[in-house]
Amino acid sequence: MTPSRHVTVRIDLNRVVQNAQRIAARTRVEVYAVVKADAYGLGAQQTARALADVVHGFYVFSVPEAIEAGLHDLTGKKLIVLDASQEATVEICRQYRLRPAVWSVQRALDLREARPILCLDTGMQRFACSPDQADQVLEAGNCDEAFTHAVRLEQVEQLVQVLGGKGLRLHAAGSALLDHPTAWLDAVRPGLALYENAVHVSTHLAEARSSNRPAGYSGFVVPRHGLILAGYSNGIRQAMCLINGTPRRVLEVGMQSTFVELGEKDKPGDQVILLGDGLTLPIAAGQVARPHELLLRLCASGVRCYR
């Protein structure tokens, strides 16, 4: 995807910090900030620097993500890495202060000196060990911590049932389980919830037209429509936008332009908000995309700036 120079992506790091503080105050457990995939598009480096004094640790998907963002220098905090491609070695983990997740006896043995963290499979069926192998992996890695990737409470219950009472630090909850105190355990691992209301994405109407004839590839008919200069090559893929304070439908996304529905008075040059100012991720996404995917796409769709 290429950023459109017509789209402005404003990232409010203060809001990210406030989101983290609110989660910490509410749960009263440690918060590990998920900054994988360049912090969902907000920028891992900038986000981690902003959060360094607020959270207890960070979680990334891969070793290169952690190294490239310089997380070890920036934060001085615990860095959990999933390491699905086995790039983590004891030396690398020590050098970059990474705590690798493990889910096989062999990897746990190999990484024993890097203080590995067990990842238990409670239904996701990826990057995790089955409950009947958990004890062996724990022992092989001499683990003092374990987690599961959970989106439902039953999964948290299974983690506790299999690994509770062994003196392990346990965590499970991402954003989807922050409303459930029984999911908080010893720490929470939010991604999306940290970034909510922290990104504002906007562009301007390049054209506006009133017409009762079919338009675009799909032949949509609306009384008035407009064009913005960003399309699916820039990552645009959504249901709604906001023009002059009114939520408007995205009618058709093209390669480098997108048709939006307009009101009578909307005119070229008017601001079109793709995210922010009350247009939140689930509304912007509608049935079109998951909020995670939309955030990532929108952050990449234009020129990123920070405040």
Ligand X SMILES: *Cc1c(COP(=O)(O)O)cnc(C)c1O
User: Which residues would be at the binding site for ligand X (CB under 6 A)?
Assistant: 34, 36, 149, 174-176, 189-193, 292
Minimum Å gap between C-beta 193 and ligand X is 6
Residue at shortest CB range from ligand X: 191
Minimum Å gap between C-beta 293 and ligand X is 11
Nearer to ligand X, 59 or 259 (CB): 59
Nearer to ligand X, 86 or 211 (CB): 86
Nearer to ligand X, 25 or 212 (CB): 25
* Alpha-carbon span 29 to 122, nearest angstrom: 22
Minimum Å gap between C-beta 194 and ligand X is 8
Nearer to ligand X, 43 or 190 (CB): 190
Burial class (CB in 10 A: 0-12, 13-18, 19+), 144: middle
Minimum Å gap between C-beta 127 and ligand X is 8
Minimum Å gap between C-beta 228 and ligand X is 28
* CA max distance for the chain: 71
Distance of alpha carbon 303 from the chain centroid:
19
Nearer to ligand X, 157 or 207 (CB): 157
Minimum Å gap between C-beta 123 and ligand X is 13
**Contact residues for 42 (Cβ-Cβ < 8 A; gap 6+):** 11, 16, 195, 198, 199, 299
Nearer to ligand X, 2 or 130 (CB): 130
Task: Sort strands 30-34 and 187-188 into parallel, antiparallel or unpaired.
Answer: parallel
* Alpha-carbon span 61 to 1, nearest angstrom: 21
Minimum Å gap between C-beta 34 and ligand X is 4
CB 4 within 8 A of CB 34: no
Question: Mapping DSSP to helix (H, G, I), strand (E, B) and coil, where does residue 22 land?
Answer: helix
Cβ count near 129 (within 10 Å): 23
Nearer to ligand X, 124 or 206 (CB): 124
CA distances from 106 to 109, 120, 129, 286 (A): 5, 15, 12, 44
Q: What value, to the nearest 5°, has the Cα angle with vertex 173 and ends 63 and 274? A: 80
